[in-house]
């Protein structure tokens, strides 16, 4: 069940909200847990057992780590091995078998297991909980209801952000529900679903047109590269907005996951602004334990390579994701060794162009089905495939999607947000904005609904993760 669906918006969510807010506080976690399990069961009837098994493993190992301090390292390793093994089985087994067959010319049959939705996200949440209990950063959770609620919480289950137990531990036991918080949550959710349906889906249509046509041009390759970079930003940040908004409605505080990454002036800065929850997870649980940047250059390079190899592989079982991760590893290594200082000496516009170019190239690789396909598409940007610079087909679709491209470019920067904040500094205008804001949100929700009813195109980019 997608957030951007009629079934979620007008059936599931209203029913959950009514039951939740009429339920006494001590039973609210139970209602959220049941709702989350129904939400997951709707899309993955069988694989709900995998998630429940992972939760039970985390609960038992957490208790054992807390009770038997002498053997807690053994229990930590056991928990990590079980969680990673489940993830590898369902997500990477066919990848390893395929490559083994290619290498040894063997004929081992593929398992063809369906990837459980959200398994990468909830596995990392479980790992963070167990590791933090081991390091005594959080007390062990003795209520399996609370732990299961944390792992399965439907607002962030299928597309993140990766919520750490330490960040919502207190909310699980006691949280406040205020009109202001609920209002803020509704606002954030409406903005998120509008970004998803009205911007990301439109950009997705343009990208699909490019991928399906044989009448390409150099200009169309560039439009696709720009369009997909914007689509994945609006798609993923929209889901994060919706998750954060829903979290506020139910009394939780989820950390921000995006902070206008396309205004970055270096790749290092870009990864402080893009998918923040994933970046900080790898930083705290892989990079820093390896020594971080407080080591020699050789180990620093090793640490970055390991982190970004894992980051790429986390996204999917395909060589395109591995090379995507390694591309960023190389760029980050070069920046840390010498390029960051050089970048500071050049005009800011050139810094932005440098970041946007490599990010755009990386997302072509990210979205390709194979390395060969990615090479062809990147080559197309520079006319290496023999196409004309522009043709009538390209001109038609550029005109058709020009408005949404302009809106998305502006929306990917803090320009509009900053202008609204400046206007709010004036009391009269602030009052007008406060009156118009709910009206605008209602209008957007109606517009989103009409689009969802009329359109069958509603992709979920992070479905494969």
State the Cα–Cα distance between residues 161 and 156, nearest whole angstrom. Answer: 6
Q: What is the DSSP letter of 256?
A: P
Q: What is the DSSP letter of 382?
A: T
257 neighbors 160 (Cβ within 8 angstroms): yes
> Could you tell me the pTM of the whole model?
0.94
Residue 463's CB is within 10 A of a number of other CB atoms, namely 13
Structure-token match 């079982």, residue found: 317
Cα three-residue angle 5-11-12, rounded to 5 degrees: 85
Report which of 21, 3, 22 is spatially closest to residue 13, judged by C-alpha positions.
Answer: 3
* Residues assigned a catalytic role: 315
pLDDT at residue 381, as a whole number: 96
State the Cα–Cα distance between residues 329 and 40, nearest whole angstrom. Answer: 34
What is the DSSP annotation of 399-437?
Answer: HHHHHHHHHHHHHTSSHHHHHHHHHHTSHHHHHHHHHHH
430 neighbors 424 (Cβ within 8 angstroms): yes
pLDDT (tens place) for every residue of the chain, 465 residues total = 788 889 999 999 999 999 999 999 999 999 999 999 999 988 778 999 999 999 999 999 999 999 999 999 999 999 999 999 999 999 999 999 999 999 999 989 999 998 898 899 999 999 999 999 999 999 999 999 999 999 999 998 887 799 999 999 999 998 989 999 999 999 999 999 999 999 999 999 999 999 999 999 999 999 999 999 999 999 999 999 999 999 999 999 999 999 999 999 999 999 999 999 999 999 999 999 999 888 889 999 999 999 999 999 999 999 999 999 999 999 999 999 999 999 999 999 999 999 999 999 999 999 999 999 999 999 999 999 999 999 999 999 999 999 999 999 999 999 999 998 888 888 888 888 888 888 999 999 999 999 888 876 666 665 555
State the Cα–Cα distance between residues 127 and 58, nearest whole angstrom. Answer: 8
pLDDT at residue 426, as a whole number: 87
Report which of 189, 44, 230 is spatially closest to residue 122, judged by C-alpha positions.
Answer: 44
115 neighbors 464 (Cβ within 8 angstroms): yes
Cα three-residue angle 72-282-89, rounded to 5 degrees: 70
State the Cα–Cα distance between residues 150 and 144, nearest whole angstrom. Answer: 10
245 neighbors 189 (Cβ within 8 angstroms): yes
State the Cα–Cα distance between residues 432 and 173, nearest whole angstrom. Answer: 39
307 neighbors 320 (Cβ within 8 angstroms): no
Three-class secondary structure of residue 26 per DSSP: helix
36 neighbors 158 (Cβ within 8 angstroms): no
Cα dist. 384→221, 225, 226, 387 in Å?
11, 16, 19, 8
Token code pair at residue 241: 């907005």
176 neighbors 251 (Cβ within 8 angstroms): yes
What is the DSSP annotation of 33-99?
Answer: HHHHHHHHHHH-TTTHHHHHHHHHHHHHHHHHHHH-GGGHHHHHHHHHHHHHHHHHHHHTHHHHHHH
Cα dist. 119→40, 145, 151, 297 in Å?
11, 19, 11, 35
Stated as kind and residue range, the H or E segment containing 343 is helix 340-343
């Amino acid at each position: 069940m997608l957030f951007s669906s009629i079934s979620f918006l007008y059936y599931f969510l209203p029913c959950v909200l009514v039951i939740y807010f009429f339920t006494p506080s001590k039973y609210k976690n139970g209602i959220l847990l049941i709702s989350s399990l129904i939400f997951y069961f709707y899309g993955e009837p069988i694989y709900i057992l995998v998630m429940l098994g992972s939760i039970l493993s985390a609960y038992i190992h957490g208790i054992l780590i807390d009770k038997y301090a002498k053997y807690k390292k053994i229990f930590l390793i056991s928990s990590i091995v079980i969680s990673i093994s489940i993830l590898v089985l369902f997500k990477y087994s066919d990848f390893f078998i395929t490559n083994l067959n290619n290498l040894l010319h063997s004929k081992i049959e593929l398992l063809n297991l369906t990837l459980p939705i959200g398994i990468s996200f909830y596995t990392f949440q479980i790992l963070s909980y167990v590791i933090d209990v081991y390091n005594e950063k959080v007390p062990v959770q003795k209520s399996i209801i609370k732990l299961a609620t944390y792992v399965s919480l439907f607002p962030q289950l299928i597309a993140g952000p990766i919520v750490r137990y330490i960040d919502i531990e207190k909310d699980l036991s006691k949280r406040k529900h205020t009109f202001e918080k609920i209002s803020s949550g509704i606002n954030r959710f409406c903005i998120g679903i509008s970004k998803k349906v009205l911007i990301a889906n439109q950009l997705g249509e343009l990208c699909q047109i490019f991928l399906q046509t044989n009448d390409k041009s150099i200009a169309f390759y560039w439009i696709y590269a720009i369009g997909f970079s914007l689509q994945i930003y609006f798609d993923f940040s929209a889901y994060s907005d919706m998750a954060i908004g829903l979290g506020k409605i139910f009394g939780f505080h989820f950390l921000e996951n995006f902070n206008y990454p396309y205004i970055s002036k270096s790749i290092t800065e870009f990864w402080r602004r893009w998918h923040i929850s994933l970046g900080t997870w790898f930083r705290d649980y892989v990079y820093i334990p390896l020594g971080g940047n407080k080591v020699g250059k050789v180990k620093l390079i090793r640490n970055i390579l390991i982190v970004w190899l894992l980051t790429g592989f986390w996204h999917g079982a395909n060589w395109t994701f591995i090379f995507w991760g390694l591309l960023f590893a190389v760029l980050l290594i070069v920046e840390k060794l010498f390029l960051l200082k050089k970048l500071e000496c050049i005009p800011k516009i050139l810094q932005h162009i440098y970041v946007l170019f490599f990010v755009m190239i990386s997302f072509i690789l990210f979205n390709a089905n194979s390395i060969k396909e990615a090479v062809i598409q990147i080559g197309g940007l520079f006319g290496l495939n023999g196409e004309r610079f522009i043709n009538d087909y390209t001109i038609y679709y550029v005109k058709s999607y020009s408005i949404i491209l302009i809106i998305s470019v502006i929306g990917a920067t803090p320009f509009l947000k900053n202008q609204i904040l400046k206007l709010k500094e004036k009391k009269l205008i602030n009052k007008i904005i406060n009156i118009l804001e709910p009206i605008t949100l209602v209008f957007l929700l109606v517009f989103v609904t009409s689009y969802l009813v009329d359109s069958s195109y509603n992709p979920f980019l992070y479905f494969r993760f």
